Amino acid sequence: MSRDGGLAEAVNEFVEALGPVVAELAADLDGVDPEDLRQDVVLEAYNLSLAFIDCDDRQSDDELLGLIEAFGPRLDSKLDHATPAVIREAGLVTGKRSVLAETSVLFDLLRKADERHGTRHARRYYELALKIAYTVASLDARPSETELRAIDDFRSLLLHALDGIRALPPERTSDGPRAGADAEPAAEPTEADEEPLPPVRPLEELLAELEGQVERYSTTLLARSILDAVTERHAREHQPAVISHTSRLLEQITEGRYVRVEPEPEADTLALIGADGRRLRPESLSTGTREQLFLALRLAYALEHCERAEPLPLILDDALVTFDDERVRRTLHALRSIARETQVLVLTCHRHLVGLAGDSVPDAHIITLPGPEHVAA
């Protein structure tokens, strides 16, 4: 299954739809290779993707892996063999949001062609560019408000540029005049060209519909306000304890390599503070350390619950299977300390983890269930 959440598909649609259009518009230009123009469309999609990734300052692994998968095969570069960490270190994305501040040369070319020939290529650019934008936003589990605001600003920018060519005649077919330099100017739209308007609805009916919409909006707004207030109160009351437990557990599991966890509300994430003072976000960590962080966070929530409510058994189902042996030992020591507060059950089907548990936690109570070969038919 593709890991890019559809970015490659959105990019392919952008290139396949606009590449031939640009090549046709430049068909009468001497010394211009249509394939070069098609590559310019690829670069346009690439710059848009970089800009939308840059909008929220996250540059998450999921976003950058999507970028690599979408453009690695298309660009003559080392991107295909890059990793998210390499891209972040190279600063490939940083500052690219400036691309969204004004319309591009490609968009302006399509818009002018639409004005001359009555086509709708700029509108198609608008639709496909926004598809790339929303696809990039979907790569993160929760898009940030900053990212969504940037997309909306870009949408408004393109719509404003399209305002002058809103009333266009139907797009010409392949049998009509070619949209090149020799094409005749488009005729003004007639009444026959315009779509028929829907029948007029009674004012009372429209007002009743509007009242219903306002009521639904008010209810939704109230529900959102209540949810935000409850979420904020929960974070205010419980987050300090959860962060404190997470910091202690992570320091224990990593043997002091990371000493503290701090929330970064503006980026909707956490930062790890290393023993050397370095500040790292989860997307900058190795897979093993990132999984240790997420495990410590889940354990911290369980501990915080035990402190304010009736302790419940803590069950981990093969939660350590991706850790190396040293990480497993340190995590088992941390779980041993948690077992003083509540019962801890660690389930696994891996025999070597059972052996490590016996060596690392001598007082652990190990129960071996019969395998399929011991169960009677």
In the predicted model, is pLDDT for residue 233 greater than 90?
Answer: no
Separation CA 346–CA 318 (nearest Å): 7
Taking residue 73's Cβ as centre, other Cβ atoms within 10 Å add up to 10
Number of Cα atoms under 13 Å in the Cβ half of residue 328: 22
Note whether 114 and 122 are within 8 A (CB): yes
Of all residues in the chain, the percent with pLDDT exceeding 70 is 77
Dump pLDDT digits (tens) for 11-27. 999 999 999 998 888 77
Write down the domain spans for the chain: 7-165, 234-374
In the predicted model, is pLDDT for residue 194 greater than 60?
Answer: no
What confidence score (pLDDT) does residue 337 get? 84
Q: What is the mean pLDDT of residues 243-256?
A: 88
With bands split at pLDDT 50, 70 and 90, how would you rate the model's confidence at 361? confident
In the predicted model, is pLDDT for residue 171 greater than 50?
Answer: no
Q: Classify residue 362 by burial, with Cβ atoms within 10 Å: 0-12, 13-18, 19+.
A: exposed
Dump pLDDT digits (tens) for 323-345. 888 888 888 988 888 888 888 99
Pairing of strands 269-274, 279-280: antiparallel
Cα–chain center distance at 168: 35
In the predicted model, is pLDDT for residue 294 greater than 60?
Answer: yes
With bands split at pLDDT 50, 70 and 90, how would you rate the model's confidence at 96? very high
Dump pLDDT digits (tens) for 53-73. 999 888 888 899 999 999 988
Of all residues in the chain, the percent with pLDDT exceeding 90 is 17
The CATH number, out of the four listed (3.40.920.10, 3.40.50.300, 3.40.50.720, 3.90.1170.50), of the domain defined by the range 234-374: 3.40.50.300
Asked whether the whole model's pTM tops 0.75, one would answer no
pLDDT averaged over every residue in the chain: 80
Separation CA 235–CA 218 (nearest Å): 26
Burial 268-278 (b: 16+ CB within 10 A, else e): bebbbbeeeee
> Degrees (nearest 5) of the Cα angle 296, 298, 300?
65
Residues 6+ apart with CB under 8 A from 175: none
What confidence score (pLDDT) does residue 29 get? 61
Which stretch, 88-102, 251-265, 280-294, has highest mean pLDDT?
A: 88-102
Helix axes 105-117, 145-162, angle to 10 degrees: 30
Separation CA 43–CA 105 (nearest Å): 12
Q: Which of 53, 57, 52, 73 is nearest to 2 (CA)?
A: 73
Start-to-end CA distance of the chain, whole Å, equals: 37
Least reliable range by pLDDT among 156-170, 189-203, 316-330? 189-203
Separation CA 82–CA 92 (nearest Å): 11
With bands split at pLDDT 50, 70 and 90, how would you rate the model's confidence at 201? low
In the predicted model, is pLDDT for residue 77 greater than 70?
Answer: no
In the predicted model, is pLDDT for residue 168 greater than 80?
Answer: no
Note whether 137 and 58 are within 8 A (CB): no
In the predicted model, is pLDDT for residue 265 greater than 80?
Answer: no
What confidence score (pLDDT) does residue 16 get? 93
Separation CA 308–CA 300 (nearest Å): 13
With bands split at pLDDT 50, 70 and 90, how would you rate the model's confidence at 132? very high
In the predicted model, is pLDDT for residue 198 greater than 80?
Answer: no
